[in-house]
Amino acid sequence: MRSKRDTCDKCKATDIKQKHLHKVNGSWLCKKCYREHRINHRQETIEKTGIKDELRLLKNKEKREYEKERRSKLKKFKPKKFIQKENPLPKIKGSKRNQKFENNNLFLTLEEKRNLFRILKRRGIDEDEVKERIKNLTESLQNLRKKLRENKISKEELSKKKMEMLEELWNH
């Protein structure tokens, strides 16, 4: 049976956990002392064997090889620079048929409908009544769109009318 150890033989530190004690040459060392022992032992072996110069050369060689590999990778994946010609040709304008007609004043977006639903729901109105109000608003906007197509009214007036309709919905 192994006896419990909780002291370091080198620095005489106490209350050390068993897992942090290491046995080296018959003596028990704590974490710090064990680390120092390893560093000193490594230096002694390098000095005794006389391979210090060889290790230095090997280290430098590894660094050079690593740099060569890194540079070659950079060369392979280097993006090509944009080369601008002296006289670029003008862009040909296409038909405007495919461009989207942007007029948000005539429609209620999905986000606006969701926000209206949430706000009216918080006011204590039933879901069915809220849905009816939003449906009535979209129908009135459709009717307004039909009238405005005939009369050709500006966007500013459209936005004013939409705001008036939304205010009616709030006050309803």
Per-residue model confidence as pLDDT tens for the chain (172 residues)? 345 678 899 998 888 888 889 999 999 999 999 999 999 999 999 889 888 888 888 889 998 998 888 888 877 766 666 666 666 666 666 655 554 544 545 677 888 888 888 888 888 889 999 889 888 888 888 887 777 777 777 777 777 877 787 777 667 6
Instruction: List Cα–Cα distances, 9 to 15, 39, 170, in angstroms.
Output: 13, 18, 84
Q: Is the dihedral of CA 33, 38, 42, 45 positive or negative?
A: positive
Q: Is the dihedral of CA 104, 106, 108, 109 positive or negative?
A: negative
Residue among 107, 138, 133 at smallest CA distance from 120: 133
Give the integer Cα–Cα distance in Å for 22 and 33.
9
pTM for this predicted structure: 0.35
Is the separation of the CB atoms in 101 and 158 below 8 Å? no
